[in-house]
Structure 1
Amino acid sequence: MEVVQEDKLKTLSYSGVFLSCFSDFSEKCIHATPEHVLVYLYSGEQIIEDRNNKIKLKAGDCAFIRRDHRLKMYKNSKGEELYKGISLTFNRTVLRDFYSKMNKSEIPKEIKISDKTVFKLELNPAIQSLFQSLIPYFDSNVKPTEGIIQLKVLEGIYTLLNSNELLYPILFDFAEPWKIDLLEFLNDNYMEDLTMEQIASFTGRSLATFKRDFKKISNLTPQKWLIKKRLETAYIKLKEEGQKVQDVYAEVGFKNASHFSTAFKKQYGISPTEVQN
């Protein structure tokens, strides 16, 4: 379980799948998730700005947000009600597995892919049941088991499919299905000693295609992205977990302490030892 506390904003993230948060002030953020998200508003108010469209969610409302789109979100308290939202994230691996087990004859035919980014869903018993079953975890901060999380994600997929047929081609749009998602692979393997050629191969790409695809997701080169990610992890291990420099640098993927120290000071302006102390 990951808990992030900043002033009066609190976020609880369970395995990156079940997310809940609340705030007693207005919070503006830029939403740019690489995965589809189903959002349920428990209390307060949420305003989503998508280009020239503005979608307002109040307590009890639910919306589906498709992946790879940038949106502005405003999470507001309403009167004495704090903002509280619960969301489920659906990654492509789970969706591919779900799709592979579906009876394809049950899939609606000739549904065109909508260009909408946000779908506000009509409240129905399936949506109510799904999120009402998650609220006790939200209120008590008791961590749900991995099994419960997996079941809730599957329930969320069924709920979406039963709520709007337009979501079939969106959920199961696996463009370039032979390619592994770059960010997912890198986030899982950034501490490993892999060459760019190996990363390209493991994600089903030529080196040239890997570099081209990477430019779509980051302004950094792959090498700089890996170093930045490793240093961020190292900072947490030193600052928050109290680990020692000699234990951290190799664990996060650096081959020697000198290179690690130089890169760390360049990014953070202080040495790893200073952070540790």
Structure 2
Amino acid sequence: MAENLEYINYSCYFTAFREGEQFASYNALSMVISGEMELNGGVHRQVFRSGDVYLVRKNQLIKFLKKPGKETEFKSLSIRFDERLLNQMSTEEHFVVQEKIKTPAFIELPQVSHLRYFMESLLQYQDLLENKSPELALVKQKEALLLLFEYDISFKNILYDISDPYKINLEEFMLRNYHFNVKLDRFAYLTGRSLATFKRDFEKIFGVAPGKWLLQKRLQEARYLLEKGKKASEIYIDLGFEDLSHFSFVFKKQFGLSPSKLLS
């Protein structure tokens, strides 16, 4: 089960669960209560366990895998920072973002005891927050931000930057992120382009439509991994395929044999 609250979210899963679309559209402070959370930002992969606190960055491609423990379910707690609140607080402080800071998709906050104590305290308000008490949620959002800035004042340049992504090198971005399972309009947005401009620029660079290129690139990587001894069931999700049967079908269509035949 999972309660989808607007600003503060308590999650609970009894079996391993992967997020569908792998795009973080907002900043969030999170803590694992039990089980494990594996995050993969494309460049960096890390497992967080009970008591670990981390910050997820908005406008990032990121894979989530929530895994229960041997005798416990997976539980986590997240507090979301919406742009209206961030804009309000930065305006009240007369804060001007000095520079765009390039950060990983997630930031580990190790041994920051006051943040962990704060997140644990939210568990005492679960009933109120699940009833969507907006006044309490707002107070807790602001408190979380103040604690983050107390830990590292430079987080203001990160969290108060609510501008859209700027135009970046499309070829470099796609070669690094082709395995993320997101729609083309997400790729376009993250490279600072409209969907039409993204498609046009993409075909100029790669000489083929983005959808076709993504499929071919993922299948090429899949063949390489299978030839290295990996199993189809181990790789299809990480390569951006939604289910094993579809992966097997398109793989056979591309290479003339199924993934299992390639292994034999």
Q: TM-score range by the shorter chain?
A: 0.5 to 0.7
* Structure 1 unmatched ranges of 5 or more: 1-9, 177-211, 220-277
What pairs up with 1:210-225 in 2 under 5 angstroms? 215=195
Deviation (angstroms), 1:136 = 2.6
- Which residue of structure 1 lines up, in the alignment, with residue 262 of structure 2? none
Secondary structure at the residue paired with 1:11?
A: coil
Residues 139 and 41 of structure 1: CA distance in aligned 2, closer, same or farther (over 3 Å): farther
Deviation (angstroms), 1:139 = 7.4
Residue identity opposite 1:38 in structure 2: L
The answer on 1:53 being equivalent to 2:44 is yes
Residue identity opposite 2:7 in structure 1: V
Q: Deviations over 1:202-241 (max 9, x none)?
A: xxxxxxxxxx97649xx9xxxxxxxxxxxxxxxxxxxxxx
Residue identity opposite 2:133 in structure 1: T
1:48 and 1:55 in contact (8 A); partners too: yes
Deviation (angstroms), 1:52 = 2.6
- Which residue of structure 2 lines up, in the alignment, with residue 70 of structure 1? 61
What pairs up with 1:60-99 in 2 under 5 angstroms? 60-99=51-90
- Which residue of structure 1 lines up, in the alignment, with residue 180 of structure 2? none
- Which residue of structure 2 lines up, in the alignment, with residue 154 of structure 1? 142
The answer on 1:123 being equivalent to 2:111 is yes
> Number of aligned pairs?
170
Secondary structure at the residue paired with 1:116?
A: coil
Provide the rounded CA distance (Å) in 1 between the counterparts of 2:78 and 2:99. 26
Deviation (angstroms), 1:130 = 2.0
TM-score normalised by structure 1 residue count: 0.54
For the aligned residue pairs, the C-alpha RMSD in angstroms reads 2.9
- Which residue of structure 2 lines up, in the alignment, with residue 28 of structure 1? 18
* Structure 2 unmatched ranges of 5 or more: 165-191, 200-264
Provide the identity percentage.
Answer: 16
TM-score normalised by structure 2 residue count: 0.57
Residues 116 and 144 of structure 1: CA distance in aligned 2, closer, same or farther (over 3 Å): same
Residue identity opposite 2:68 in structure 1: S
Residue identity opposite 1:99 in structure 2: S
The answer on 1:133 being equivalent to 2:124 is no
Provide the rounded CA distance (Å) in 1 between the counterparts of 2:3 and 2:157. 31
Secondary structure at the residue paired with 2:79?
A: strand
Q: Of the two structures, which has the highest relative contact order with CA contacts closer than 8 Å and spacing of 6 or more?
A: 2
Deviation (angstroms), 1:128 = 2.4
Residue identity opposite 1:39 in structure 2: S
Provide the rounded CA distance (Å) in 2 between the counterparts of 1:139 and 1:25. 24
- Which residue of structure 2 lines up, in the alignment, with residue 187 of structure 1? none
Provide the rounded CA distance (Å) in 1 between the counterparts of 2:120 and 2:81. 19
Q: Deviations over 1:27-64 (max 9, x none)?
A: 11243132111111111100001113111110000111
Deviation (angstroms), 1:87 = 0.5
